[in-house]
Amino acid sequence: MAVADVLLAEIERGGVRPVYLLLGEDRGSKEEVVQSVKKSLFKNSEESTAGSSVFYGDETPVYAIVEALGASSMFSAKSLVVVHDFDRIGNKKPILEYAERPDKDTVLMLLSEKNSMAKSVTDAVLKHGKAATFWTMFQNEGERWLSRYLKRLGVNAEQEAVGYIVEVTGTGKLEMKSQAEHIVNYLEKDEPLALDTAKRIITKLYRYTVFDLANRLFIAKPGEIISVFRWLVRTGEDLVKIEYFCIREIGKIARALAMLRENHTFPQIVKKLGFRKSESARINRILSTVTEQRIRSIYTALTELDRTLKSKPKDVGLAEFEMVLIRMAG
């Protein structure tokens, strides 16, 4: 298995492989890899649109994916086939057979939120491609990564400032990178980043963040959640990014519920899942009221929302998103 950072660097240097298997819960980093491949394959957005096909493992017949792998576009010399939720495909054999003899002008990207796959899958991919797992970092790992990235941007940041940024932003590399680049634009040349400065800049940048929305799920009333959501939309926040953080929050709760069912104590759950002190009380409160059936139902709704956001007009996506958020109110 490739190290995720090494894989991304290889693609950015133009070393695109014909097959990729991208595993793990860090959807932001996996999407960064997909976008990097698109940038390497296509000259412009028109080529990218014409040459790209996106499928979902829980709704697409395997023959449709295989058919797309053999198709070509008159508008692009290259083609990209992205399969989300690859683990949900029942009959993977035709795709794995393709992976062992891939077309030189097509890139196949298989994505899954699972952290591992059967050896037959990885073996087929690794014959001509690369596989990587994108792990969600713990708070201290995120702080170390962000400190290094800020130094690359020429910023000396106090540890308290770095900790605060990670607390607000989360530990997804894509999100931390974006936040750091925004903050740098507000600093004077050679100005160090202190805690008060970080708070001032982030307050100026955002009245609310996607984390404010995620932290209200299952706690706040519907009107409050929708108000935060609409503010984020008005200020230009990407709907797919908002959805990603909602799904991540659902994932945390689902894993905690599963551990409760296995008779783990809440302190054991906190330690095992790496919950921060600031979120432990909130999640404990949610666990006392939410059911597994409700979580499964909402996760299904979010999966359907993901397809809508990527295939329907924005107004349709907004309406469906608000209906899903209302279902996640306290």
Element (H, E) at 163: helix 159-169
Residue 278 has pLDDT above 80, yes or no: no
Rounded CA separation 306/304 (Å): 5
Which position has the token pair 């503010």? 231
Residue % of the chain over a pLDDT of 70:
97
Residues 6+ apart with CB under 8 A from 149: 176, 177, 180
Q: How far is CA 163 from CA 151, 158, 199, 222, in A?
A: 15, 9, 11, 31
Q: In this predicted structure, what is the pLDDT of residue 74?
A: 59
The answer to whether residues 139 and 107 touch, using CB atoms and an 8 Å cutoff, is no
Using a cut of 0.75, tell me whether the model's pTM lies above it. no
The region of weakest confidence among 36-45, 91-100, 229-238 is: 229-238
Which CATH number is associated with domain 212-327? 1.20.272.10
Average pLDDT over residues 264-293: 87
pLDDT band at 2 (very low <50, low <70, confident <90, very high): low
Average pLDDT over residues 264-281: 84
Residue 13, sorted as left (phi over 0), alpha (psi -120 to 50) or beta, turns out to be alpha
pLDDT band at 75 (very low <50, low <70, confident <90, very high): low
Rounded CA separation 112/188 (Å): 42
Rounded CA separation 8/24 (Å): 15
Complete edge-to-edge strand list for the sheet that includes strand 19-23: 52-56, 79-84, 106-111, 19-23, 130-133
The segment(s) of the chain belonging to CATH 1.10.8.60 are: 139-205
Element (H, E) at 123: helix 119-126
CATH class given for the domain over 139-205? mainly alpha
Packing angle between helix 292-311 and helix 239-261, nearest 10 degrees? 160
What DSSP letter does each residue of 6-32 carry, written as one string? HHHHHHHTT---SEEEEESS-HHHHHH
Q: In this predicted structure, what is the pLDDT of residue 6?
A: 82
Report the b/e string of 132-143 with b at 16+ CB within 10 A.
Answer: bbbebbebeebb
Rounded CA separation 308/303 (Å): 9
φ/ψ of residue 317, rounded to 5: -60, -40
pLDDT band at 206 (very low <50, low <70, confident <90, very high): low
pLDDT tens digit sequence for 147-184: 999 999 999 999 999 999 988 887 877 778 888 988 88
pLDDT tens digit sequence for 52-64: 888 888 777 888 8
The segment(s) of the chain belonging to CATH 3.40.50.300 are: 4-133
Classify 132 as helix, strand or coil: strand
Beta bridge partners of 52: 80
Rounded CA separation 272/310 (Å): 34
Classify 110 as helix, strand or coil: strand
Which position has the token pair 């209302």? 326
Options 3.40.50.10330, 3.40.50.300, 3.30.70.100, 3.40.47.10; which CATH number does 4-133 get?
3.40.50.300
Average pLDDT over residues 290-318: 88
Rounded CA separation 187/203 (Å): 14
Which position has the token pair 């298997």? 21
Token pair, residue 92, equals 């993977």
CA atoms within 13 A on the CB side of 167: 14
